[in-house]
Structure 1
Amino acid sequence: MTHQREELPLFPLKVVLFPGNILPLHIFEERYRLMIRYCLEEESNFGVILIKKGSEVDDQTEPYNVGTAVRIIESDTMDDGRMNIITAGQYRFQIKNITNQTPYLVATTDILNPGPPPDQHRLSVLMTRVSELYNTYEDLLSETIPDWEIPKNVPQTPFHLGCHIATRLQITLIEKQRLLEVLAVDQLLMQEIKILRYEIQRRQATVIAERKFKAIPTSETPFWKNNSLN
């Protein structure tokens, strides 16, 4: 498989972003103000990538190798130089080598494409199954997480549906990173089916336990004050 190569400024964060998803950012560090100004002037993308070691304000941060290139779709600069921007995930990339460390990371990257489409019948079966599980999962989340909102619009293409589900899954960042690194669309959907089955069972157990707890009758008089126990 051939890859298109490009230079990308990098923004290591404690977040895993998938193509097709929106990420708002507040830019306060001077080095990233410089980076965002460069991207705005040059109409350039930059890469959002999960931190492997270090922190968001660490000069020696080590990122994972695979991230998502983003495009700035809105920006607002405050009087003190801080910025609020809204970015949209475009495509995945893989770092080949870091070409610049200061004032911010720049890397030579390969654009990662989903690859050749799998068998259409197989893909259709996977799409149907993952969609059914995802709908059940969202319903359970709305029961177990206060103010959880179920999205009205869900992507219908296999790759972007997979990216949408990966974003919505309430799993660890490392688990999300593993999904981001899955290139084949059918493999991504298969991994999500496994995760959804497990998460649904776990959430269902939580719902059942909460319902049973609420169904237990309570006495107006605390048991330790109940004279019938004496």
Structure 2
Amino acid sequence: MTTTRLPLFPLNTVLFPGLVLPLNVFEARYRALLRDLLELPESEPRPFGVVAIRDGQLAVPRGTGLPDESEESPPDPTAGFGADPMRSFYEVGCVADASTIRPRQVAGEGEEPAEGGGGPASYEVLATGTSRFRLLSVDASGPYLVGEVEPLEEVAGEGAGALASGVLLAFRRYQKALAGANERTLGPAQEAPDDPVVVSYLVAAATVLHTADKQRLLQAPDTATRLADELRMLRQEASLISKLPSVPGAEYTVRPTSLN
């Protein structure tokens, strides 16, 4: 088993391979993570691991004044996650490549200034999911969490191609039901991808589901299983939406956006 160490960025959302993740980073522990990523050559990948936070677990909110944001104390990498962070995270996550890291020198409204008045108050980050991993252990000895992870291979499974075609049709019906429930006009259909793996991840990211449901799709044993689950979910959701006068939160089908 080949393992590697990867900086961890826990979020209240699930990142899928191939999907873009914009971040506004202001907590001291994650600013430290990004400073280390910025030391890597710009021409090379700048990877970190995104893990979804389990239901009932909360990351530290901004502006709490906890020790990890003070000048006197170093960041507390476990703040909000308890003594054993592994219990707060789902087991399967996604590697993200920070293609763009843009420091912001002036703190915005509600943001804490950087320690000692030096360095960026926050970072704007644009990252892209690349591949899945299984989280084996968490090291909390540094300013941010670091995971020991093993890569997860994507296996097609039996009938993935046919399932992908069915999922795309069901997703289009789901989009129409969602647009109708919100009294919005559905735009022209975009060209569908041919790769069943890409279909499975795009649909998983674009469907309005609870974090636990998205996480189940991320950690599916193979593409065919993920697509079969999506087909069932899409049919259920479209049927439910058609009976509702409006669907709050439908705008989140555009893309995942997370604020640290």
Uncovered stretches (5+) of structure 2, i.e. residues with no partner: 61-77, 82-87, 107-119, 247-260
CA distance in 2, matches of 1:24, 1:54: 22
| Structure 1 partner of 2:47 | 45
Q: 1:151-195 CA deviation, whole Å, 9 max, x = no partner? A: 735433111110110111111111111111102010010010110
Aligned residue type for 1:23: L
| Structure 2 partner of 1:225 | none
CA distance in 1, matches of 2:140, 2:174: 43
Q: 1:102-148 CA deviation, whole Å, 9 max, x = no partner? A: 32110110111112x334xx223212211110111111112223668
Q: Give the structure with the higher percent helix.
A: 1
TM-score by length of 2: 0.72
Deviation of 1:10 (Å): 0.4
User: What is the DSSP-based 3-state SS (H/G/I as helix, E as strand, rest coil) of the residue aligned with 1:206?
Assistant: coil
User: What is the DSSP-based 3-state SS (H/G/I as helix, E as strand, rest coil) of the residue aligned with 2:39?
Assistant: helix
| Structure 2 partner of 1:56 | 59
Deviation of 1:207 (Å): 5.7
| Structure 2 partner of 1:26 | 24
Distance 1:87-1:145 versus aligned 2 partners, 3 A rule: farther
CA distance in 2, matches of 1:168, 1:155: 14
| Structure 2 partner of 1:192 | 230
| Structure 1 partner of 2:139 | 99
| Structure 2 partner of 1:215 | none
1:179 to 212, 217, 232: 217
Q: Give the structure with the higher percent strand.
A: 1
Aligned residue type for 2:182: I
Distance 1:94-1:16 versus aligned 2 partners, 3 A rule: same
CA distance in 1, matches of 2:229, 2:139: 34
The worse-fitting range, judged by mean Cα deviation, of 159-168 and 124-133 is: 124-133
| Structure 2 partner of 1:211 | none
User: What is the DSSP-based 3-state SS (H/G/I as helix, E as strand, rest coil) of the residue aligned with 2:168?
Assistant: helix
Distance 1:74-1:152 versus aligned 2 partners, 3 A rule: farther
Deviation of 1:49 (Å): 0.9
CA distance in 1, matches of 2:234, 2:22: 27
- Check if 1:124 corresponds to 2:126: no
**Identity, % of aligned pairs?**
27
Uncovered stretches (5+) of structure 1, i.e. residues with no partner: 209-230
| Structure 2 partner of 1:220 | none
| Structure 2 partner of 1:77 | 103
User: What is the DSSP-based 3-state SS (H/G/I as helix, E as strand, rest coil) of the residue aligned with 1:205?
Assistant: coil
Q: 1:22-76 CA deviation, whole Å, 9 max, x = no partner? A: 1100010111111012122224300111112532226141211111110011121
User: What is the DSSP-based 3-state SS (H/G/I as helix, E as strand, rest coil) of the residue aligned with 1:25?
Assistant: strand
CA distance in 1, matches of 2:210, 2:48: 24
CA RMSD of aligned residues (A): 2.1
CA distance in 1, matches of 2:198, 2:141: 32
1:158 to 196, 208, 213: 196
Distance 1:56-1:156 versus aligned 2 partners, 3 A rule: farther
- The answer to whether the 8 A contact 2:22-2:124 is kept is yes
Deviation of 1:206 (Å): 2.2
TM-score by length of 1: 0.81
Aligned residue type for 1:183: P
